[in-house]
A and B are shown apart, each in its own frame.
Chain A
Amino acid sequence: MGILNSSIGRKFAMALSALFLMVFLLQHFAINILSVFSADAFNTASHFMGTFWAVQYLLQPILIFGVIFHFVMGFVLEIKNSRARKISYAKNNGGANSTWMSRNMIWSGAAILAFIILHFIDFWIPEINTKYILGDMSGMHNGELRYFHELVEKFHSPIRVTAYVVAFVFLALHLLHGFSSAFQSVGANNKYTEGLKKFAKVYAIGIPLGFIFIALFHHFTGH
């Protein structure tokens, strides 16, 4: 933990947790998009992820640690950085030299945290309750796998869908800076950086847009 006492160590740890979360997000999207094409495929993939031991007992704890670490460290860094400038400028033209996204990671991050709390209440906590409190690992409800039905049911509410859409807009803003920033933090700034920045834009806009599409699709089709 000694490395976390240095500014570069903290930066490196933030970047590693961010890279892990971005891989997780891609995997999450790959499974969710199945729900648009095939309820059976979505059910099968969800049941596998929800019951396979390596996912449940290995990857899930790492993911939860990664999420908590990224948020806690983000807020810690924000507090430390605010101490590094106790008196603000009377006039500061931040837009002249940096993007809004890069200057407001804490706010886009806070919006994403609020969404994750909602998301946990919606899906994760009921899932843990069913599997590990009630002990029902079958994934079945009324004779069929329950995951697709639960997903569609959640997206009936226009308020929830609106919250999801807004949250994913903030996620896109967060990723527009965070994706390439993570690579810079681990020391990767070279001839591939320009290409990486272009890919970062595709990822940062494409993945959240995909999640928004899934929410809107189920809301309007109501399958």
Chain B
Amino acid sequence: MNLTLKIWRQKDANDNGKMVDYPISNVSPDMSFLEMLDVLNTQLIESGDEPVAFDHDCREGICGMCSLYINGEAHGPDRGVTTCQLHMRKFKDGDTIYIEPWRATAFPVIKDLVVDRSAFDRIQHAGGFISVNTSGNTIDANAIPVNKHDADDAFSAATCIGCGACVASCKNSSAMLFVGAKVSQFALLPQGQVEAADRVMNMVKQMDEEGFGNCTNTGACEVECPKGISLENIARMNREYLSASLKG
């Protein structure tokens, strides 16, 4: 396959950045998208140019590091996959492919396609945990009965890998699917009940302070989420928040 790549290049956080065209040839349909970028970077290095910076780690759809807004969609045109799981067979010979970083004020570009997603870390630190005594007297979690339906929903919420595709896809750059998943993960389990009210209040407060937008329920986040996190989690977070607000 011969392709034209239009890639966002930005030297550092202070650079204005611009889209740059890169023709690339002999791309195998069996390559993953990141392997295709590896090939491009090899060519750039051999010709003495600066390689394109992009995030990646596990390359098996688990870590949430790879991002990329490809042809107008987070993680590209495929569904239920991260960029590392996207294959070039999804494109046609002669295609022009736009490759951009996540766009959100709360996710500033560090370089090229790499953005700073530490806002998600700070939201997690604000309440995305349970306080458990780990000094040797920890109770086995399996000793606490949990309704099967709640356990399944909590597990589904916990599959969020924090990649930020929800923010990138949302026209408002809202992080509510991420925060909704993290709140739901604990709200559904008995272990999460003790800190439930503080958790949702603190996480939403942090989310707002980070500069994410307001959710308008377009549902784009749910469609583009590589882990299929449901909008039900946002509704649950809304209920948790209102309940916590009323309790004061």
Chain A residues at the B interface, C-beta cutoff of 8 Å:
3, 6-12, 77, 80-81, 83-94, 96-99, 102-103, 105, 177, 180-181, 184-190
Report how far A81 CA is from B208 CA in the complex, Å: 11
Q: How far is the CB of B140 from chain A (nearest CB, A)?
A: 32
Binary interface encoding of chain B residues 193-219 relative to chain A, with 1 for a CB under 8 A from any of its CBs, else 0: 000000000001101100111111111
Q: Which of B149-175 contact A (CB under 8 A)?
A: 169, 171-174
Binary interface encoding of chain B residues 19-53 relative to chain A, with 1 for a CB under 8 A from any of its CBs, else 0: 10000000000000000000000000000000000
User: Nearest CB to that of B19 among chain A residues?
Assistant: A90
Report how far A155 CA is from B72 CA in the complex, Å: 45
Top 7 nearest A-B pairs by Cβ distance?
A: A93-B72, A84-B213, A189-B235, A187-B239, A97-B223, A81-B172, A84-B173
Residues of chain B lying within 8 A (CB to CB) of residue A105: 216
Binary interface encoding of chain B residues 207-248 relative to chain A, with 1 for a CB under 8 A from any of its CBs, else 0: 110011111111110011000000110111111011001000
Report how far A188 CA is from B239 CA in the complex, Å: 8
Q: B237–A8 contact, CB under 8 A? A: yes
Given the known interface contacts A84-B213, A97-B219, A177-B217, the answer about A8 and B69 at a Cβ–Cβ threshold of 8 Å is: no
Residues of chain B lying within 8 A (CB to CB) of residue A87: 103
Residues of chain B lying within 8 A (CB to CB) of residue A7: 174, 176, 204, 207-208, 212-215
Interface flag for B6 (CB, 8 Å): yes
Residues of chain B lying within 8 A (CB to CB) of residue A6: 204-205, 208, 241
Report how far A152 CA is from B195 CA in the complex, Å: 61
A11-B215, A91-B71, A177-B217 known; 12 other A-B pairs, CB under 8 Å?
A: A7-B207, A7-B208, A8-B242, A11-B238, A89-B72, A89-B103, A90-B100, A91-B72, A97-B169, A97-B220, A184-B238, A185-B238
Pick the most buried of B215, B242, B245: most chain A CB atoms within 10 A of its CB: B215
What is the size, in residues, of chain B's interface with A at 8 Å between Cβ atoms? Answer: 47
Q: A84–B104 contact, CB under 8 A? A: yes
Pick the most buried of B172, B214, B231: most chain A CB atoms within 10 A of its CB: B214
Q: B214–A11 contact, CB under 8 A? A: yes
Residues of chain A lying within 8 A (CB to CB) of residue B77: 96
Residues of chain B lying within 8 A (CB to CB) of residue A3: 245
User: Nearest CB to that of B212 among chain A residues?
Assistant: A84
Given the known interface contacts A12-B242, A89-B100, the answer about A96 and B73 at a Cβ–Cβ threshold of 8 Å is: yes
Q: B238–A94 contact, CB under 8 A? A: no
Q: B98–A90 contact, CB under 8 A? A: yes
User: Nearest CB to that of B246 among chain A residues?
Assistant: A3
Interface flag for B54 (CB, 8 Å): no
Q: How far is the CB of A218 from chain B (nearest CB, A)?
A: 36
Interface flag for B106 (CB, 8 Å): yes
Q: How far is the CB of A93 from chain B (nearest CB, A)?
A: 3
Residues of chain A lying within 8 A (CB to CB) of residue B223: 96-98
Given the known interface contacts A7-B176, A97-B73, the answer about A81 and B214 at a Cβ–Cβ threshold of 8 Å is: yes
Q: A8–B241 contact, CB under 8 A? A: yes
Q: A93–B105 contact, CB under 8 A? A: no
